[in-house]
Amino acid sequence: MDLRLTPEEKAFEAELKDFIAQNLSPELAYAQRLTSGVYPEPEVFRAWQKILNERGWGAPTWPVQFGGTGWTPTQRYLFERSCAAAYAPFQHAMGLRLIGPVIMEFGSPEQQQKYLPRILSADDYWCQGFSEPSAGSDLRGLKSHLRRDGDAYVLNGTKIWTTHGHFANLMFALVRSEHDQTDGKKFSFIIVEMNAPGVTIQPIRTMGGDHELNQVFFDDVVISKEKIIGVSGEGWAKALFLLKNERAGSFYSTRLKAWFGEIASLAAALASEKPEDEVRDIRDRLSMLELDLDALEFLEIKSVLPLAPGEVMSEFTSSIIKLRTGKCRQAISTLWVDIVGADVRRWETERPLNSVGQGLNRDMIRLAAPRYLNDRAQSIFGGSSEIQHDIMARTLLQER
């Protein structure tokens, strides 16, 4: 595979960097740099999303007919690399990379006209309703269910680990259509308005001290038929389609490499305070981690660039990328804590961390413990590592 950029691609990358330099404020970049969880605060994402949308770059992965850029995989890679290097706010995946493609693929024309423009403009903020207390990686154990009530439906049950559910005005959810059946065809993919009567949100604090997660309860919540994506009872295929985008829908290595550069700089700044043997150990681990990140980047490039427009990579490949991404992110945050040393115990409860600037090195020290603790979940959410290994094993055994 030839990874050299064409003259046109080099010109495109220069245009990206120039646009980011002119439009990304230091405040937004600083807020992204000090994000300790998965996503920046909604006001940070929304500000950057509106800037991108005005330029026509609000949805790098979407086709042109739905308001996307229609970019090639190489252009998308260059965009994500340029944004990551500048610490542009991470685009909220729930709308752009998860529910957006589902609505494009399975939604009615009315649903497409209603929701897609509001995802682009960031006027709607989505959350995901998949996991439940008794169903995490195995979604066939879901118990939340719909029952028909005249021309509408009634939803009862609960969802858990709902990222940014307290900020969202809309949720996409997978629920049972007939809760006493186990057949995978008896699921529905629905849209829930978070301010509807009967919806209750209970906060969950992570080990890192952040309030990103929630448990959401549904008590006789009315769901109109316009809120069903596709046909009621045929939601399983929509969920599988979405999960492929969730597990491998981005060039995550670009963000990881930016964080790696930060901890490498921090290690150099703190080297004079550490024993020589500890400095050597940190340098060795940095070298090994840099090689792992290069390998992940090449894997993503090799897997994404050959895809035709609208084509999704195989479940086997997406599982490998999900596993490697989680391992690399955990390795970065583990090394980060070791570089900081005893100062990591200076716990700060203030959130978001970006509200008080103390200089880059000091801010990186403040961020180490929350990022490390929150990253423990990397091997669980989005499908646990055990599930990914199972997918890979089943694929290999079938090929034999």
- What does the DSSP 8-state code read for residue 376? G
**Percent of the chain scoring above 70 in pLDDT:** 93
pLDDT of amino acid 181: 61
The more confidently predicted of residues 96 and 400 is 96
pTM metric for this prediction: 0.90
- Write out the H or E segment, with its range, that includes residue 70: none
**Spatial separation of the C-alpha atoms in residues 115 and 90, rounded to whole Å:** 21
Give pairs for 165-168: CB < 8 Å, separation 24+.
165/127, 165/194, 165/201, 165/213, 165/214, 165/216, 166/201, 166/203, 166/211, 166/214, 167/42, 167/125, 167/127, 168/94, 168/125, 168/126, 168/127, 168/194
The more confidently predicted of residues 362 and 258 is 258
Q: Where in the chain is the domain with CATH 2.40.110.10?
A: 126-234
pLDDT of amino acid 179: 57
**Spatial separation of the C-alpha atoms in residues 86 and 365, rounded to whole Å:** 20
CB 386 within 8 A of CB 137: yes
pLDDT of amino acid 211: 93
Q: Note the pLDDT tens digit of each residue in 260-292.
A: 999 999 999 999 999 999 999 999 999 999 999
Q: Note the pLDDT tens digit of each residue in 170-225.
A: 999 999 987 556 555 689 999 999 999 999 999 999 888 899 999 999 999 999 99
Concatenated DSSP letters of 14-40: HHHHHHHHHH--HHHHHHHHT--SSS-
Q: Note the pLDDT tens digit of each residue in 99-115.
A: 999 999 999 999 999 99
Please choose, from the candidates 313, 336, 340, 334, the residue with its C-alpha nearest in 3D space to the C-alpha of residue 378.
Answer: 334
**Spatial separation of the C-alpha atoms in residues 249 and 235, rounded to whole Å:** 20
| pLDDT confidence band for 145 (50 / 70 / 90) | very high
Residue 231 has pLDDT above 80, yes or no: yes
Average pLDDT of the residues in 365-378: 91
pLDDT of amino acid 345: 84
Residue 357 has pLDDT above 70, yes or no: no
pLDDT of amino acid 356: 55
**Spatial separation of the C-alpha atoms in residues 1 and 223, rounded to whole Å:** 49
Q: Let me know if domain 126-234 sits in CATH 2.40.110.10.
A: yes
Residue keyed to tokens 């090195």: 361
Please choose, from the candidates 42, 40, 41, 66, the residue with its C-alpha nearest in 3D space to the C-alpha of residue 53.
Answer: 66
| pLDDT confidence band for 354 (50 / 70 / 90) | low
Q: Where in the chain is the domain with CATH 1.20.140.10?
A: 248-399
The more confidently predicted of residues 50 and 39 is 50
**Spatial separation of the C-alpha atoms in residues 24 and 89, rounded to whole Å:** 9
Encoded tokens for 106: 């399975």
Tell me the angle at which helices 7-23 and 42-55 cross, rounded to the nearest 10 degrees.
Answer: 130
Maximum distance among all Cα pairs of the chain, rounded to whole angstroms: 74
Residue keyed to tokens 């008080």: 356
Q: Could you tell me the CA-to-CA distances from 163 to 1, 131, 216, 233, 333 in Å, in that order?
A: 38, 11, 11, 25, 20
Encoded tokens for 110: 């009315």
pLDDT of amino acid 156: 97
pLDDT averaged over every residue in the chain: 90
Average pLDDT of the residues in 293-305: 90
3-class DSSP assignment, residue 128:
strand
| pLDDT confidence band for 347 (50 / 70 / 90) | confident
**Spatial separation of the C-alpha atoms in residues 394 and 323, rounded to whole Å:** 16
**Spatial separation of the C-alpha atoms in residues 263 and 229, rounded to whole Å:** 44
Query: For 153-162, 198-207, 247-256, which range has the lowest pLDDT when averaged over its residues?
Result: 247-256
pLDDT of amino acid 83: 97
Q: Let me know if domain 248-399 sits in CATH 1.20.140.10.
A: yes
Q: Could you tell me the CA-to-CA distances from 115 to 67, 102, 108, 120 in Å, in that order?
A: 12, 11, 11, 9
**Percent of the chain scoring above 90 in pLDDT:** 66
